[in-house]
Amino acid sequence: MEDGFDSVIAQAGTNISGGQKQRLSIARALVRKAEIYIFDDSFSALDFKTDAKLRSALKEETAESTIFIVAQRVSTVMDADRIIVLEDGRIVGIGKHKELLKTCEVYKEIVYSQLSEEEIA
């Protein structure tokens, strides 16, 4: 923001975007070093470039922590150590991105609906 830390945030954040609200919420969570972080769809309002940059920075900040990311966007989780795929509230796949592409039809359908061929590899 133009005034940096001196910027004024209106009640309920009405003067900032959804992506800015999400980034502020994530920053607030990171201020206190925790053993476990749960990000429940915390990246959905971010554009793809910001999402990627933020996840990269998160790796450094949370290297000693366990992180759970709930997401609908494949690009947000495809580098995870373990992805759990849900369909109708039931687990239909567990594994890494490349494993799930081979073993989980639901994951494969989601991936092909969201990513281009070069992004999938």
Span 12-24, pLDDT tens digits:
889 998 888 888 8
Distance (Å, rounded) from C-alpha 89 to C-alpha 12? 31
Who contacts 36 (Cβ-Cβ below 8 Å, separation ≥6)? 65, 66, 67, 68
Residue 21: the pLDDT is: 87
Query: Given this model, what pLDDT does residue 27 score?
Result: 87
Output the pLDDT for position 25: 87
The Cα 85–Cα 100 span in angstroms is 9
Tokens of 44: 């959905």
Q: What domains are defined for the chain?
A: 1-71 (3.40.50.300), 72-121 (no CATH)
Which parts of the chain sit beneath pLDDT 70? none
3-state secondary structure of 87: strand
